[in-house]
Amino acid sequence: GAGVSQSPSNKVTEKGKDVELRCDPISGHTALYWYRQSLGQGLEFLIYFQGNSAPDKSGLPSDRFSAERTGGSVSTLTIQRTQQEDSAVYLCASSFRRDTGELFFGEGSRLTVL
């Protein structure tokens, strides 16, 4: 597709379950970011992938959170043993490094933990 695609758009889960959120970046984009946004608040940085470099995981809030990016394209954010405070919109963004760095955002995955 032409834009960044995220799935699912909505996910409701029970506390303690694991969830996976998927991001399909724009083809050819080497940089990929995950952010979390609660109730229309600011962007909380989670993780940053840039080409073949080691990912910047400095924003992951706990070891229950992990992310991978396979083949330099699709990324999956996994949250294990979900907690109610994990409820938020998870945003993915991508960019092509060799330009001026404008980010293209997906519509987000809204996670609700009951």
Partner 1 sequence: AQSVAQPEDQVNVAEGNPLTVKCTYSVSGNPYLFWYVQYPNRGLQFLLKYITGDNLVKGSYGFEAEFNKSQTSFHLKKPSALVSDSALYFCAVRDLNRDDKIIFGKGTRLHILP
Q: Which residues in this chain contact partner 1 in the complex, by CB under 8 A?
A: 31, 33, 35, 40-43, 45, 48, 50, 53, 56, 91, 93, 95, 97, 100-108
Rank residues 70 and 100 by Cβ distance to partner 1 and give the closer one.
Answer: 100
Pairing of strands 5-7, 19-24: antiparallel
Smallest distance from partner 1 to CB 80, Å: 25
Query: Residue 62 CB: number of other CB atoms within 10 A?
Result: 10
Our CB check for partner 1 shows the closer of 93 and 113 to be 93
Residue type, 43: L
Please report how close the Cβ of residue 75 comes to partner 1 at its closest, in angstroms: 16
In the complex, least distance from residue 17 CB atom to partner 1, rounded to whole angstroms: 26
Instruction: Give the amino acid at 81.
Output: R
CB of 48 to partner 1, least distance (A): 5
Around Cβ 92, how many Cβ atoms within 10 Å? 27
Q: Based on CB atoms, which residue is closest to partner 1, 56 or 80?
A: 56
Residue 96: exposed, middle, or buried by beta-carbon count in 10 A (0-12, 13-18, 19+)? middle
Identity at 57, one-letter amino acid code: K
